Amino acid sequence: MNEKEKAKKILKILNKIYPTTPIPLKHRNKFTLLTSVLLSAQCTDLNVNNVTKNIYPKYNKPEHFVKLGRKKIEKLIKSIGIFRIKAKSIYLTSKQLIKKHNGNVPKTFEELEKLPGVGHKTASVVLSQGFGLPAFAVDTHIHRLAQRWGLTNGKNVVQTEKDLKRIFPKKTWNKLHLQIIYYGREYCQARSCYGLTCKICTTCYPNRKNPINTKKA
């Protein structure tokens, strides 16, 4: 089975299981989406949502967070991991959005990645989920699954992103990103399947006998 055939089978399975893909991080606008993505580093979406549900009704613009200041932001998000670093990023990003972008979230990789704490993956999520622009955010979970499914050599997330963008049509990227995340959580978890039992793994590799050891991002 070549890459294109494999991609078609994977898309068919994912589209059947996940015909719709709601955005997992709750948000009110593009700024709160960006904020939630910053908060989600080393933290589950559920934990982020549990914290932001008490923040966003009152604070949902860059101006609000600049006025709060770092210390007060820390208090609001202290139940989330590495909260001091995240509070600093949110505060400085808010200041920069006001200073350079009139309080608006920019919609290019170049501009987003200049914001404090915003890397390529965060920018990809904001562009795809906030603006509907084609992007393929690859995190450690997608990196792991792409290896199990034989879509990349697993060198690093940068290479995995290039491979997935090459294999799958651009029009599928935004939805596919979420479909893979949902599928990984439900059927192909890090400490189960190991490339041997889930529908996609057995479809792509029906004769596979040994567990797949994936390379970390």
The average pLDDT across 89-100 equals 98
Structure tokens at 75: 């208090």
Q: Which residues contact 205 (CB under 8 A, 6 or more apart)?
A: 150, 195
Identify which of 57, 10, 18, 37 has the alpha carbon closest to the alpha carbon of residue 128: 37
Annotated domain spans of the chain: 3-20+136-204, 30-131
**CATH number 1.10.1670.10 given to 3-20+136-204:** yes
pLDDT of 42 reads 87
pLDDT band at 154 (very low <50, low <70, confident <90, very high): confident
H or E element, residue 114? none
This prediction has a pTM of: 0.91
The whole-angstrom separation of Cα 140 and Cα 121 is 11
Q: What is the pLDDT of residues 53-75, one digit of tens each?
A: 999 999 999 999 999 999 999 99
Q: Does pLDDT of 212 surpass 90? A: no
Rounded CA-CA distance 176/19 in Å is: 10
- Amino acid identity, position 55: I
pLDDT tens digits, 1-52: 888 899 999 999 999 999 999 999 999 999 999 999 999 998 999 999 999 9
The span from the CA of 125 to the CA of 7, in Å, is 22
Whether residue 86 has pLDDT greater than 80? yes
Q: What is the pLDDT of residue 194?
A: 87
Intra-chain end-to-end CA distance of the chain, in Å: 26
153 pLDDT more than 90: no
Report the distance separating Cα 102 and Cα 149, nearest Å.
44
Confidence class of residue 214 from pLDDT cuts 50, 70 and 90?
confident
pLDDT at position 217: 67
pLDDT at position 4 is 86
Nearest Cα neighbor of 198 from 20, 213, 189 is 189
Query: Can you give the pLDDT at residue 100?
Result: 97
Over residues 76-104, mean pLDDT? 97
Per CATH, domain 30-131 is 1.10.760.10: no
Calculate the CA 97 to chain-centre distance.
Answer: 22
At 97-143, the pLDDT tens digits run 999 999 999 999 999 999 999 999 999 999 999 999 999 999 888 99
Task: DSSP letter for 214, please.
Answer: P
